[in-house]
């Protein structure tokens, strides 16, 4: 949500400081100050008692209505005396609010802090609907606040917020310190995301700038993980000429460790961010973006460019209703196999798709890292579970599956069974005796069908309902694949009925047995890829070459317009070779 904050002329207020404080203590909305001091008309000021409704009407018709980009909430700060019921300093009229400091005394609390507190209250009250009896809740719009009530917190959770909630709770402490005399320094915990960097991507950005490669006049639609590496990646796109407001980012519903913070930082830059959540899928978010672009229309000299993870925009863009946008699209860079699988379903491909997913470099470099992080996170969720000496089952023996099997054997001291319907993979698994105890095409053919841990790495629905029914007394389910495709969660829920318990965030138990034969399945990370759940996955320095590859492939699409409309894996290898990617990365690694 965007909140526009401005002041009346002659009202003494350090608006930038107010904005800075507001943005430092929460991630739910971005406060801006793009509107100059408002000059209220003489007839309003001359009134014996200025009416707030008259002021909001004036602001709406003469200030806000023509302002672009529009904001969901517009707040006027003023020192004017306004008759507001119950002597409140805030007046809310639709999307326009007034905060009056008329009766404030500097000795009580500096106006900057008080303005900030009231902006927080107003904006939060727009995001959630406060209904509880907790009058001191920030969203209750009372004189003061000191907490976030449980009901409002649950509404924020339902809206997909996670780290933002924890951060807001921390901020109550900061706001209390400010009230008690602390200086603004305590609030200046500027996000370290802005300092994050991708050294290799920066290197190539400079190189591309020297070559005068440009992403200007491109609308770039991006579906990538909302991890800290996304911020320097977006900065690189911008350095190559793409305006922040020309970048459209879709946030997946994964509970990334810093999803809200990343969103906030990107929105502060001016990037368009749409957040998917339980009731709003990634596909629907993408559809909204495309519909909006269709409605507004692309400028005549603009092109579309897609960088995605999971095959969302590309199939949608091929629907007849978006044909006018499709004709303006220069291509797609896809980074996952799941996305490529989706793209293969497109009837007549009308744009080139560069498949980073299929590149040998990505497989050989990234997969071991993914496997390692997945194992770290399994440990994080199972601190009191004895896995050593027990059996594990890994579905899929691709590059990630192999790494998982390796670590489960060596780090967890488990015996690993592998299931892979692909004969070549099966052959590989059976010849990795040091890390694979047995390998079969089907789960039913395994000798050990009561594993303590099951990990899906196939990118498809591998852990199906029938398999779930065959599991032993206790089993832990984990996925490393995109979205929630790996495990049939609907079947799991059906088996458990109402006997589902969330133990902690990211750890849910499903009782699927009978009274005589109890069986409990524990699902980790809600079935999302465990490497991303509440985690930063890979460090920036580790993921750097993959992000760089996405960037270079995107630029390649702008450099060469006569590419065939096909899914192209070779292009990635060409980029790796042409740009000496490995050699350059070794200088940083």
Instruction: Mention every residue, 6+ apart, whose C-beta is less than 8 A from residue 406.
Output: 371, 435
Q: Are strands 453-456 and 474-479 parallel, antiparallel or unpaired?
A: parallel
377 neighbors 533 (Cβ within 8 angstroms):
yes
Q: Among candidates 52, 99, 94, 55, which has minimal Cα distance to 71?
A: 94
Interactions with other proteins, residue window 105-124 (CB under 8 A):
105-106, 111
CA–CA separation, 551 and 156 (whole Å):
34
* Residue of 2, 8, 335, 558 that binds other proteins (CB under 8 A): 8
**Of 8 and 558, which has the nearer Cβ to other proteins?**
8
Q: Which stretches within 411-539 are classed as H helix?
A: 423-430, 465-470, 489-496
Which two tokens mark 380?
């994080």
Taking residues 468 to 507 in sequence order and writing x for each that binds other proteins by CB under 8 A, - otherwise, the string is ----------------------------------------
424 binds other proteins (CB under 8 A): no
DSSP classification of residue 85: G
62 binds other proteins (CB under 8 A): no
**Of 49 and 423, which has the nearer Cβ to other proteins?**
49
Minimum Å gap between C-beta 56 and other proteins is 15
**Of 110 and 459, which has the nearer Cβ to other proteins?**
110
**Rg of the chain on CA atoms, in Å:** 27
Instruction: Mention every residue, 6+ apart, whose C-beta is less than 8 A from residue 399.
Output: 363, 364, 367, 368
Which two tokens mark 374?
């997945």
Minimum Å gap between C-beta 232 and other proteins is 43
352 neighbors 564 (Cβ within 8 angstroms):
yes
* Residue of 43, 46, 94, 504 that binds other proteins (CB under 8 A): 46
Minimum Å gap between C-beta 33 and other proteins is 17
CA–CA separation, 248 and 4 (whole Å):
21
Q: Which stretch binds other proteins (CB under 8 A): 47-55, 151-159, 347-355, 449-457?
A: 47-55
**Of 41 and 539, which has the nearer Cβ to other proteins?**
41
* Residue of 43, 66, 68, 87 that binds other proteins (CB under 8 A): 87
102 binds other proteins (CB under 8 A): yes
Q: Which stretch binds other proteins (CB under 8 A): 14-22, 72-80, 131-139, 479-487?
A: 72-80
143 binds other proteins (CB under 8 A): no
Minimum Å gap between C-beta 109 and other proteins is 12
CA distances from 504 to 481, 525, 529, 538 (A): 22, 10, 17, 23
* Residue of 36, 61, 62, 81 that binds other proteins (CB under 8 A): 81
165 neighbors 507 (Cβ within 8 angstroms):
no
Which two tokens mark 587?
């200088």
**Of 50 and 411, which has the nearer Cβ to other proteins?**
50
Inter-axis angle of helices 570-578 and 360-381, to 10 degrees? 100
Which two tokens mark 162?
């996670």
* Residue of 49, 133, 300, 423 that binds other proteins (CB under 8 A): 49
DSSP string, 389-420: TSEEEEE--SHHHHHHHHHHHHTS--EEEEE-
Q: Which helix (H) or strand (E) holds 520?
A: strand 520-524
Minimum Å gap between C-beta 2 and other proteins is 25
* Residue of 51, 132, 388, 464 that binds other proteins (CB under 8 A): 51
Q: Are strands 453-456 and 303-308 parallel, antiparallel or unpaired?
A: unpaired
Minimum Å gap between C-beta 79 and other proteins is 4
**Of 51 and 327, which has the nearer Cβ to other proteins?**
51
Minimum Å gap between C-beta 176 and other proteins is 23
**Of 46 and 300, which has the nearer Cβ to other proteins?**
46
* Residue of 56, 78, 417, 479 that binds other proteins (CB under 8 A): 78
Which two tokens mark 196?
């994050």
Q: Which stretch binds other proteins (CB under 8 A): 27-35, 40-48, 241-249, 391-399?
A: 40-48
Q: Are strands 507-511 and 520-524 parallel, antiparallel or unpaired?
A: antiparallel
56 binds other proteins (CB under 8 A): no
Q: Which stretch binds other proteins (CB under 8 A): 20-28, 80-88, 122-130, 493-501?
A: 80-88
129 binds other proteins (CB under 8 A): no
Taking residues 339 to 378 in sequence order and writing x for each that binds other proteins by CB under 8 A, - otherwise, the string is ----------------------------------------
CA–CA separation, 479 and 199 (whole Å):
30
242 binds other proteins (CB under 8 A): no
Q: Which stretch binds other proteins (CB under 8 A): 83-91, 356-364, 444-452, 467-475?
A: 83-91
DSSP classification of residue 64: I
Sheet strand arrangement including 90-93: 30-32, 2-7, 73-78, 96-100, 90-93
Q: Among candidates 24, 2, 52, 3, which has minimal Cα distance to 112?
A: 24
Q: Among candidates 425, 419, 426, which has minimal Cα distance to 443?
A: 419
Instruction: Mention every residue, 6+ apart, whose C-beta is less than 8 A from residue 472.
Output: 449, 450, 451, 519
* Residue of 2, 26, 74, 101 that binds other proteins (CB under 8 A): 101
Minimum Å gap between C-beta 103 and other proteins is 6
141 neighbors 122 (Cβ within 8 angstroms):
yes
Minimum Å gap between C-beta 94 and other proteins is 20
79 binds other proteins (CB under 8 A): yes
First to last CA, the chain: 39
Q: Which stretch binds other proteins (CB under 8 A): 103-111, 278-286, 563-571, 579-587?
A: 103-111
Q: Among candidates 219, 304, 332, 221, which has minimal Cα distance to 568?
A: 332
CA–CA separation, 567 and 346 (whole Å):
11
* Residue of 2, 4, 11, 171 that binds other proteins (CB under 8 A): 11
Residues touching other proteins: how many (CB under 8 A)?
28
386 binds other proteins (CB under 8 A): no
**Of 38 and 250, which has the nearer Cβ to other proteins?**
38
Minimum Å gap between C-beta 291 and other proteins is 42
Can you give the binding site for other proteins, defined by CB under 8 A? 8-12, 40, 45-51, 78-81, 83, 85-87, 101-106, 111
């Amino acid at each position: 949500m965007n909140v526009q904050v401005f002041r009346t002329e002659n009202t003494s207020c350090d608006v930038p400081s107010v904005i800075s404080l507001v943005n430092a203590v929460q991630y739910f909305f971005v406060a801006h100050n793009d509107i100059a001091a408002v000059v209220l008309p003489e007839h309003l000021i001359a009134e014996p008692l200025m009416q707030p409704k008259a002021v909001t009407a004036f602001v709406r018709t003469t200030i806000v209505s023509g302002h672009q980009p529009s904001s969901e909430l517009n707040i006027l700060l003023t020192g004017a005396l306004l008759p507001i019921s119950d002597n409140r300093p805030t007046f809310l009229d639709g999307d326009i609010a007034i905060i009056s400091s008329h009766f404030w005394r500097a000795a009580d609390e500096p106006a900057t802090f008080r303005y900030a507190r009231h902006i927080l209250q107003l904006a939060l009250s727009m995001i959630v609907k406060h209904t509880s009896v907790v009058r001191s809740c920030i969203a209750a719009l009372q004189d003061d606040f000191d907490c976030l009530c449980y009901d409002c917190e649950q509404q924020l959770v339902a809206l997909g917020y996670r780290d933002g909630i924890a951060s807001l709770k921390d901020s109550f402490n900061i706001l209390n310190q400010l009230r008690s005399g602390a200086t603004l320094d305590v609030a200046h915990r500027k996000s370290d995301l802005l300092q994050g960097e991708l050294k290799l991507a920066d290197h190539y950005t400079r190189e591309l700038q020297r070559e005068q490669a440009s992403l200007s006049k491109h609308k770039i639609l991006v579906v990538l993980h909302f991890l800290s590496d996304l911020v320097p990646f977006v900065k690189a796109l911008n350095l190559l000429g793409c305006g922040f407001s020309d970048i459209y980012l879709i946030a997946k519903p994964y509970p990334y460790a810093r999803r809200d913070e990343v969103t906030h930082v990107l929105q502060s830059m001016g990037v368009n961010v749409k957040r998917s959540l339980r009731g709003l899928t990634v596909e629907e978010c993408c559809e909204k973006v495309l519909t909006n672009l269709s409605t507004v229309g692309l400028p005549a000299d603009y092109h579309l460019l897609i960088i995605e993870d999971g095959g969302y925009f590309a199939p949608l863009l091929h629907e007849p209703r978006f044909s006018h946008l499709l004709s303006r699209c220069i291509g797609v860079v896809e980074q996952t196999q799941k996305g490529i699988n989706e793209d293969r379903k497109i009837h007549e491909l009308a744009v080139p798709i560069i498949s980073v997913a299929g590149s040998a470099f990505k497989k050989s470099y990234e997969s071991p890292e993914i496997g390692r992080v997945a194992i770290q996170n399994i440990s994080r969720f199972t601190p009191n579970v004895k896995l050593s000496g027990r059996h594990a089952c890994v579905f899929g023996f691709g590059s990630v599956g192999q790494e998982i099997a390796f670590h489960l054997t060596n780090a967890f001291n488990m015996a690993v069974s592998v299931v892979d319907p692909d004969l070549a993979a099966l052959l590989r698994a059976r010849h990795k005796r040091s890390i694979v105890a047995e390998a079969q095409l089907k789960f039913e053919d395994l000798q050990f069908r009561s594993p303590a841990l099951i990990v899906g790495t196939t990118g498809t629905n591998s852990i199906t309902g029938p398999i779930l029914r065959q599991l032993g007394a206790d089993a832990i389910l984990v996925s490393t694949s995109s979205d929630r495709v790996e495990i049939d969660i609907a079947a799991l829920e059906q088996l458990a009925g109402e006997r589902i318990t969330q133990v902690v965030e990211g750890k849910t138990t499903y009782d699927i047995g009978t009274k005589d034969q109890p069986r409990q399945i524990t699902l980790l990370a809600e079935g999302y890829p465990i490497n991303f759940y509440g985690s930063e996955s890979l460090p920036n320095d580790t993921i750097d070459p993959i992000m760089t590859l996405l960037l270079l492939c995107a630029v390649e699409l702008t450099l060469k317009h006569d590419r065939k409309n096909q899914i192209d894996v070779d292009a990635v290898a060409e980029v790796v070779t042409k740009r000496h990617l490995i050699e350059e990365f070794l200088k940083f690694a």
